[in-house]
Structure 1
Amino acid sequence: MPDTQTVTSVTHWTDRLFSFRCTRPASLRFRSGEFVMIGLAGENGKPLLRAYSIASPNWDDELEFYSIKVPDGPLTSRLQHIRVGDPIVLRPKPVGTLVHDALLPGERLWLLATGTGLAPFASLIRDPETYERFGTVVLMHTCREASELEYGRRLVESLKDDPLIGEMVEGRLLYYPTTTREASPRMGRITDNLTSGKVFADLGLPAMTPGTDRAMICGSLAFNLDVKAVLEGLGLNEGANSEPREFVVEKAFVGDGI
């Protein structure tokens, strides 16, 4: 089958979350934050494909993806069982709105995610261009339980030793993980922590303004709409590749049921 790549590693983070890496087509070029269609060959010979954000940065030799497991999901019920050496289908046509080109220049970049919506930001926080464009990068990630934050926590922790961007992220990447169900050092929904001003107080940052702050949003449809309303209330406007503004929303993020 054309567009077939090979799985090179698989990590199961919880009973609902896993990440995997695969070979990268030599011809594939993408902007950090974009997504591609990936999947598995179907029983009828047609591949079953879904949109997945690329979690690896654009300079990586391999591709990385971060996924939920849905027991009866048409794709993830099978995808969660992949092993090293297995083939997967990848359509090498990256697209997406969570890219630097869709934002106006600014001082701070806010990356706002729930669950596996973290994936495009896992790419962006490893991209030198992110730190060339913004003085401060704030990664807010919210999940129900602390174990669901582990993929992001380990990734952020590893960046200080990264030979390419280790020096860039020092003191400039601010990580703000919270839980909504399980008790943890920091709790609360992203919308609540923004509207109450708690995140600004905790990180010692001024409140968001359209003049200095830019944001990217990736999560469930309900989350995206809620955060969009908060940002618009702060005076920020939604942008696109064709018309850069103060924030962008990933409209193709796949939530439950995949």
Structure 2
Amino acid sequence: MVQWVEGHVVGKTTWSQRLVSLQVDADIAPFEAGQFIKLGLEVGAEAVGRPYSLVNAPGERPLEFCFSVVPGGPLSKRLAALNAGDSILVAPHASGFLILREVISGSHLWLIASGTGIGPFLSILKTAEPWQRFERIVLVHAARLVSELMYRDTISEFAETHTDKFVFIPFVSREPTDFALPGRIPQAIENGQLETRAGIKFSAAQSQIMLCGNPQMVDEIQQLLIERGLKKHRRREPGNISVESYW
């Protein structure tokens, strides 16, 4: 049974009809960048909770979470209706292994996300570790609409601060743009567009890839990379591909 601490919403960002971020003040245990934690609300006679990635870096406050509003879901619509001052339940401890401590050394770090899967990667990039460990960092974010490319100001700050190390590659699948790649990430891996835009290749010798987002996308990308000679990372058998599996 989850034990909760009471938190309070201190801010909200509505990115689109289906994407929302909440800023929350709550007293939780220390966590590692890339981890997730449960948020909950009292629904009827019980507390309903779901896991959400922390967008903020360890030590940064308030806590921040981004999530999709799921039609007919028991929680997300209620979370999206909260405003500053409202109470929210927060689990006291974070979990998850999509963290740099679990990633072996390499020259290039690829952070590939769709939708709200970008959250843990922003938390990681707000820390010093990735910039110290890797020569190049590629952040890939796929969305349906331009408005759903969340946290673009934060990403621009990474680019300005780490000009020689960082590249951001957005994808937008349902409307034309003059800056984002069209279509889906797996297709851009198959036809070489993603590597061309990044200026580097996927390599078993140099690449570490972290994936978070739509399960189908994650599975497709894993398979394509495995066909290219990369392998999934396991503690007993180190590899190139790390995946969050709390979906």
Tell me the TM-score normalised to structure 2 length. Answer: 0.92
Describe the SS at the equivalent of 2:182: coil
Instruction: Kindly report which structure 2 residues correspond to 1:48-197, keeping only aligned pairs within 5 A, or say none.
Output: 48-149=48-149, 151-159=150-158, 166=161, 169-185=162-178, 186-197=181-192
Tell me by how many angstroms 1:59 deviates.
Answer: 2.7
Residues 6 and 26 in structure 2, CA contact (< 8 A), matched pair in contact too: no
For 1:87 and 1:36, how far apart are their aligned partners in 2?
16
| Structure 2: tracts of 5 or more residues without a match | none
CA-atom RMSD, angstroms?
1.7
For 2:168 and 2:110, how far apart are their aligned partners in 1?
10
Q: How many equivalent residue pairs?
A: 243
Say if 1:241 and 1:80 are closer, same or farther in 2 by CA, change over 3 A: farther
User: Aligned pair 1:28/2:25, yes or no?
Assistant: no
For 1:144 and 1:194, how far apart are their aligned partners in 2?
18
Tell me by how many angstroms 1:242 deviates.
Answer: 6.0
Aligned to 1:202: 197
Say if 1:9 and 1:94 are closer, same or farther in 2 by CA, change over 3 A: same
Residues 97 and 241 in structure 1, CA contact (< 8 A), matched pair in contact too: no
Aligned to 2:221: 227
| Structure 1: tracts of 5 or more residues without a match | 254-258
Tell me by how many angstroms 1:241 deviates.
Answer: 5.3
- The structure with higher relative contact order (CA 8 Å, sep 6+) is 1
Where does structure 1 differ by over 2 angstroms across 4 or more consecutive aligned residues? 158-161, 240-245
- Structure 1 vs Structure 2: percent identity of aligned residues? 29
For 2:67 and 2:97, how far apart are their aligned partners in 1?
19
Residues 6 and 87 in structure 2, CA contact (< 8 A), matched pair in contact too: yes
Tell me the TM-score normalised to structure 1 length. Answer: 0.88
Residues 40 and 49 in structure 1, CA contact (< 8 A), matched pair in contact too: yes
